[in-house]
Structure 1
Amino acid sequence: MSGITSEYAILVAGGSGTRMQSQVPKQFISIGGQPILMHTIKRFFAYNAQIRLILVLPTEQILLWQQLCAEHAFFLPHQVVTGGNSRFASVKNGLAVISGEG
């Protein structure tokens, strides 16, 4: 065994934006010309360029995320996973990918 372990980060981004009084889910609100979620992903890669990111989104937000990535030419590697009916279920879906179940 090589002794090399992978680092993972699961980003559960299922917010609706209601607390921020926004029609746009908070993770997609633009700051500095890019959605907040892109800034977050960049920070993880600044910490470790080899990190394996798992992004958990509600089903109805996945297409929007893909469109935003194309629009902003955002190509940092990450895996998108469908969220669940609760935060717990969404985290479980993200963990399933790491354990090879998802």
Structure 2
Amino acid sequence: MHRFQYPDRNTRPLKDVPTMANAIDMWLQKTGFSEKMFEAAIMQDWREIAGISIAKNTAKLSLHKRVLSLTIMSAPLRNELAMNKHKLITLINEYIKHNYITDIRF
């Protein structure tokens, strides 16, 4: 019969053991929940991310494979957003603190 032996007090702690936060992050990425969390944050906080005037003119907002699709009711606003697409992508990714959105389609 093998008996459990407690580690020696002089041994160093394990270096390869992940912290709880890292373990949760790895699990979220492995299961795909992290992407769903990013999508939910963008959808829920769109007004705060984009601002009131853009949010009021957004008729439809959807995400598929890291691409944000927007239906904008105002043609001039749509053109302005299209010209500043990379700034909007950066703004969204900074808001969720992750480089998740890769493109925006109008």
Q: With the length of structure 1 as denominator, give the TM-score of the two structures.
A: 0.24
Q: Where is the helix percentage greater, Structure 1 or Structure 2?
A: 2
Higher relative contact order, chain-length normalized (CA < 8 Å, sep 6+): 1
Structure exhibiting the larger radius of gyration computed from Cα positions: 2
